[in-house]
Amino acid sequence: MASNRGLAYVKPGVVELRDIAFPELALGDRKCHHGVILKIVSTNICGSDQHMVRGRTTAPEGLILGHEITGEVLEKGRDVEYLEVGDLVSVPFNIACGRCRNCKEQQTGICTNVNEARPGAAYGYVDMGGWIGGQAEYVMVPYADFNLLKFPDKDQALTKIRDLTLLSDILPTGYHGAVTAGVKPGAVVYVAGAGPVGLACAASCHLLGAAVVIVGDLIPERLAQARSFGCETVDLRKDASLADQIAQIVGVPEVDCTVDCVGFEARGHGHSHSVEQPATVLNAAMEVTRAGGGIGIPGLYVTGDPGGVDDNAKIGNLSIRIGLGWAKSHHFTTGQCPVMKYNRNLMQAILYDKIKIADAVNVQVISLEDGPSGYQDFDKGAAKKYVIDPHGIVAA
């Protein structure tokens, strides 16, 4: 039997590398004829993983982490028709059947057949169907013909793997936030959060033709990373209001669109920046977005948060000033990104050098053994996107 190792969530603040079972083409006690086993080429640490590792979800001990996966087909099931052993593929973090109503309407983030608990599933994530994560050496992917994006030229793809690895989640997620907020040529956009998703969103805003992209964060190194590819920035530690800082950049205290790339662990602005205030970003977005503008919300909000600041926050009940959004006729879009809606076109943008996403998010390649330290550094606010290279393929 071949061996396999994966990064496991042990307890808040602790991730360790463990020996785990080699994947099988099986779903419980039945064969998964529509699946493939992948040798993982790259797998990324995500801010959503970090929520679990901080103990801010109900994730169980021993959960194998990782929903951002790129891999090589090692074995395929009997019913897989359009993929071959050796193909290099991107794995959308959404697990989707391709058969239900939502999948057929391109809403693959809320497939109704892959998670008994609720619509939508993901690899290695709490309450998302119990699927084994991909921060490992090998993983099983179901519904392979539907889910997987094959790179047309394997050798070419490997030369751009630091960029293409981001197709599994953060680039489509950032792009989805921008699209749903209404970003278009000439738009003035505020992106809340300069973590990897926020930076990917800012780069996507440029791809979509935005005139000005303003990124806000509390960490100077992340703001510097945003400036490195042409963004304006606001330092949310300052006592000057967000609206005033925006006015200093564009002359008026408002923007056309806002994208919330922070989520439920948001902190206050100004003198209260050290205090968690989970509704801060949403309320600030309504304040600074012009009447008739849009707010995209790819940042994660949860229904269960053991570390919430109060009883309401622990069940995802936040003090949102929805009356302001209603009065300004804002439109809001929430939820997981349906990766398959965007990943093929974004792949083309990468392959034809229309976006340098690895540079924008500052990809740092590490080994599987260095995964636990990668989590620690990321938790400290490192202005990097950690890409795990289990077999040394990316480094080579």
- Residue-wise pLDDT tens digits, 177-189: 999 999 999 999 9
| Cα separation values, 350 from 147, 213, 359, Å | 20, 20, 12
Q: Is pLDDT of 331 > 90? A: yes
Q: Mind listing the pLDDT tens digit for each residue in 212-265?
A: 999 999 999 999 999 999 999 999 999 999 999 999 999 999 999 999 999 999
First-to-last alpha carbon distance for the chain, in angstroms, is 27
Q: Is pLDDT of 13 > 90? A: yes
Average pLDDT, the chain: 96
350/357 Cα distance (integer angstroms) = 8
Q: Could you tell me the two tokens for 187? A: 């738009």
Reduce the DSSP state of residue 276 to 3 states and report it.
strand
**Residue ranges of the alpha helices (H) in the chain?**
47-53, 101-104, 144-147, 154-159, 161-164, 170-181, 196-207, 220-227, 242-250, 280-288, 322-327, 343-351, 357-361, 371-379
Determine whether 30 is exposed, middle or buried from the number of CB atoms within 10 Å of its CB (0-12, 13-18, 19+). Answer: exposed
Confidence of residue 277 (pLDDT cuts 50, 70, 90): very high
Note whether 331 and 161 are within 8 A (CB).
no
Q: Could you tell me the two tokens for 367? A: 């080994």
Q: List Cβ neighbours of 278 (8 Å cut-off, separation of 6 or more).
A: 264, 265, 266, 308, 309, 313, 318
Confidence of residue 322 (pLDDT cuts 50, 70, 90): very high
CA-closest candidate to residue 150, choices 344, 352, 354, 357: 344
Q: Report the side by side order of strands in the sheet with 331-334.
A: 232-235, 212-217, 188-192, 255-260, 289-297, 331-334
- Residue 314 per-residue DSSP state: G
Note whether 332 and 325 are within 8 A (CB).
yes
Note whether 299 and 261 are within 8 A (CB).
yes
Note whether 4 and 18 are within 8 A (CB).
no
Q: Is pLDDT of 77 > 70? A: yes
- Residue 133 per-residue DSSP state: P
Q: Is pLDDT of 274 > 90? A: no
Confidence of residue 1 (pLDDT cuts 50, 70, 90): low
Average pLDDT over residues 280-285: 97
Average pLDDT over residues 10-26: 96
Average pLDDT over residues 115-134: 95
Note whether 344 and 118 are within 8 A (CB).
no
| pTM exceeds 0.85 for this model | yes
Strand positions, DSSP E, the chain: 5-11, 14-19, 26-27, 30-31, 36-44, 68-76, 88-91, 138-141, 149-150, 188-192, 212-217, 232-235, 255-260, 289-297, 331-334, 363-366, 385-388
287/56 Cα distance (integer angstroms) = 28
Note whether 265 and 56 are within 8 A (CB).
yes
Give the percent of the chain with pLDDT over 70. 100
Confidence of residue 130 (pLDDT cuts 50, 70, 90): very high
Strand partners, 365: 387
Q: Is pLDDT of 23 > 80? A: yes
**Domains of the chain by start residue, with CATH:** 5-169+338-388 (3.90.180.10), 170-334 (3.40.50.720)
Q: Is pLDDT of 128 > 70? A: yes
pLDDT value at residue 2: 87
Q: Mind listing the pLDDT tens digit for each residue in 24-45?
A: 999 988 999 999 999 999 999 9
